[in-house]
A and B are shown apart, each in its own frame.
Chain A
Amino acid sequence: MPLNIDGCIEGSYQLIGGNFATAGEASTCLKLKLTELGVAETIIRRASIATFEAEMNVIIYAAAGWLHYYITPHGIKIRIEDMGPGIEDIELAMQEGFSTAPEWVRELGWGAGMGLPNMKKNSDLFKIDTVVGEGTTVEMVINIP
């Protein structure tokens, strides 16, 4: 299927903290959109995994947040902004296995300390801005070769 992207396609999803019942819905909607646009499966998978991990972080840690996406023929940009606790030590948070997730989150299969490393692994550009007590913004770009 040929790539069918004209200009920049953008959109947003609202994310509600603690809502595990619908967690992951925004990422699966974005995945469907990318499929409809004819993006290659390997690119879709990288974008979906990076977005899904970011979405889950909002659900786990924040009160609420937004997921914005911008799709052009050259790449997919995803920005996730949350009203959460912020990250005290980004370097530590980027280490595989480091997590501050509470026990009940771990019992649900999350909080393994692989979220941020997984976002970085699946992105060509990864940027994180955080203010303790205010929130975190993650920006990721996945190139379309």
Chain B
Amino acid sequence: MMTLNWYLALSAVLFTIGTLGVLIRKNAIVLFMSVELMLNAVNLTLIAFSAHLGDSTGQILVFFSLCVAAAEAVVGLAIIIAIFRNNLMVDISKINLLRW
């Protein structure tokens, strides 16, 4: 019998993998993809609650979060292109202009 816990556990594992990706990777694009993975994990939680409570509000929220994720990906990739144009690399451990 499939209960809500299964979906929440899958979501927790995916969110943790996304966090691990953000922590260990140095390539800015892969780091961005890990953030997208975390967003997806949260979307799964919202849809699971929506389906189990019989309420459509969670799915509406996922719809809006998809739109925000698309906007975030576009602006973030534009920032990465701008960084690459100035530094010729996207290794975030070597981009330390704002560090004192």
**Are A and B physically bound partners?**
no
